[in-house]
């Protein structure tokens, strides 16, 4: 901590200003609360930038520094008195100019902050327009629309969307967390390549994968054609083959496309963990599986849940896959309702 023994003031490049400032303080007597009087002496000097300074040094103080609480309080009080005396100094105009500059700088910064606030509010308004549109539809008389939806298709939408979310959520967790743990903690041939290859499904929309797998697994596709040629089957009545264009087929397609959300964030969560925690659990008697489920997995849980949330939102948002597979989910229901089955307000509901 530095204590004030003198006050130095910059007086611009004009020596006469420094002289006036020095004359103002020269011989000035400052009275402390303990009755001690300190007389000021001044001198002027020039720095390397050719600016003139005035130094005010009070006397009647300890020359060895702080030697007790009384001297510490006296030096603090003297510093306050010196700074209060600046209000009557000839160079007060310079100080006021500096204060005005600081004020206008603060005002300009405040203006720019207000501009950013207005810009953010406008962007938020644009983003929230769909939500406001949906909210406004609640003000309309839609009791008949709701009754019709409940009696016809709403239950199918709820059940199919629920099973889609359950199936896709379970699948992306198993594949995403498993592959993230293997590529992070295990070393095997091609590990470095798999770290990036496992992200490739994000580059392909789910409906393209649905088209591809449907053509491969269909009755005239290469898979069933090969099976019939090998086992001598002549028609579809001779064997059973699962239909890809079903609810479970849609779940499988969405899992294969959306698991990278969980994989990417879970891998980041595992990489941020210290290996020492897993090694400590192993030294305490945990086997590899128990170390994973009791130490590594709970630490990465926030990242895993974030990836799962993204995957589930994409599941509810998907239209191409569920429409191609004939699954009555929320997206297909909104699309069909919007284009002519019911008034447009019912699709917003």
What is the model's pLDDT at position 143? Answer: 61
* pLDDT tens digits for range 117-132: 888 888 988 888 877 7
Same domain, 192 and 327: yes
Same domain, 268 and 341: yes
The answer as to whether 2 is a domain residue is: no
Once rounded to an integer, what is the mean pLDDT over residues 146-161? 79
Same domain, 220 and 315: yes
Same domain, 195 and 319: yes
Same domain, 172 and 222: yes
The answer as to whether 98 is a domain residue is: no
The residue with greater pLDDT, 134 or 238, is 238
CB 332 within 8 A of CB 156: no
What residues does 37 pair with on adjacent strands? 31
How many independent structural domains does the chain possess?
3
Which of 75, 71, 57, 74 is closest to 4 using CA atoms? Answer: 75
Same domain, 313 and 186: yes
Same domain, 148 and 133: no
The answer as to whether 260 is a domain residue is: yes
* pLDDT tens digits for range 47-80: 777 788 887 777 776 555 556 667 667 777 777 7
The answer as to whether 1 is a domain residue is: no
**Alpha helices, DSSP H, located in the chain:** 15-25, 69-85, 92-137, 143-152, 154-185, 191-197, 206-217, 222-231, 247-271, 275-283, 288-291, 297-299, 301-317, 320-324, 330-336, 344-348
Using the 3D structure, point to which of 56, 90, 124 is the last residue of a domain. 90
* pLDDT tens digits for range 185-244: 888 898 889 999 999 998 888 888 888 888 888 888 888 888 888 888 888 788 888 888
Q: Chain-wide mean pLDDT for the chain?
A: 79
Domain that holds residue 329: 144-348
* Local confidence band at 97 (pLDDT 50, 70, 90 cut-offs): very low
Same domain, 70 and 152: no
Give me the phi and psi of 30, to 5 degrees please.
Answer: -115, 125
State the CATH number of the domain containing residue 307.
1.10.3720.10
The residue with greater pLDDT, 197 or 245, is 197
Same domain, 148 and 135: no
Residue 336 scores a pLDDT above 90: no
The DSSP secondary-structure symbol of 244 reads S
Same domain, 327 and 190: yes
The residue with greater pLDDT, 182 or 111, is 182
The answer as to whether 245 is a domain residue is: yes
What is the model's pLDDT at position 1? Answer: 35
The answer as to whether 97 is a domain residue is: no
* pLDDT tens digits for range 269-291: 998 887 778 888 888 888 888 88
What is the model's pLDDT at position 335? Answer: 78
Taking the C-alpha atoms of residue 349 and residue 339, their distance in angstroms, rounded to an integer, is: 14
Same domain, 125 and 154: no
The answer as to whether 99 is a domain residue is: no
Percent of the chain with pLDDT over 90: 18
């Amino acid at each position: 901590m530095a204590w004030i023994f003198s006050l130095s003031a910059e007086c611009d490049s004009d020596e006469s200003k420094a002289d006036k400032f020095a004359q103002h303080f020269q011989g000035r007597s400052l009275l402390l609360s303990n009755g001690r009087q300190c007389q000021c002496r001044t001198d002027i000097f020039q720095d390397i930038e050719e600016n003139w300074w005035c130094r005010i040094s009070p006397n009647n103080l300890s020359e060895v520094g702080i030697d007790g609480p009384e001297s510490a309080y006296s030096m603090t009080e003297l510093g306050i008195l010196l700074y209060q005396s600046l209000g009557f100094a000839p160079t007060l105009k310079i100080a006021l100019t500096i204060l005005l500059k600081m004020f206008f700088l603060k005002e300009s910064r405040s203006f720019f902050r207000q501009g950013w606030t207005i810009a953010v509010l406008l962007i938020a308004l644009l983003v929230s327009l769909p939500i406001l549109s949906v909210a406004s539809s609640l003000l309309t008389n839609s009791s008949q629309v709701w009754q019709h939806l409940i009696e016809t298709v709403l239950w199918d939408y709820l059940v199919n969307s629920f099973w889609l979310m359950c199936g896709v959520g379970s699948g992306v967790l198993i594949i995403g967390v498993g592959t993230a743990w293997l590529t992070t903690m295990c070393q095997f041939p091609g590990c470095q390549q798999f770290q990036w290859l496992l992200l490739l499904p994000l580059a392909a929309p789910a409906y393209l994968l649905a088209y591809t797998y449907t053509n491969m697994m269909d009755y005239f596709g290469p898979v069933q054609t090969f099976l019939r040629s090998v086992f001598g089957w002549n028609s579809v009545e001779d064997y059973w083959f699962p239909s890809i264009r079903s609810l479970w087929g849609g779940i499988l397609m969405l899992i294969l496309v959306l698991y990278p959300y969980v994989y990417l964030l879970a891998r980041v969560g595992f990489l941020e963990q210290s290996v020492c925690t897993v090694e400590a659990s192993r030294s305490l008697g945990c086997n590899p599986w128990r170390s994973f489920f009791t130490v590594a997995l709970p630490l990465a849980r926030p990242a895993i849940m974030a990836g799962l949330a993204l995957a589930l939102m994409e599941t509810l948002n998907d239209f191409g896959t569920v429409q191609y597979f004939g699954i009555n989910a929320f997206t297909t229901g909104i699309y069909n309702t919007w284009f002519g089955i019911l008034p447009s307000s019912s699709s917003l509901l």
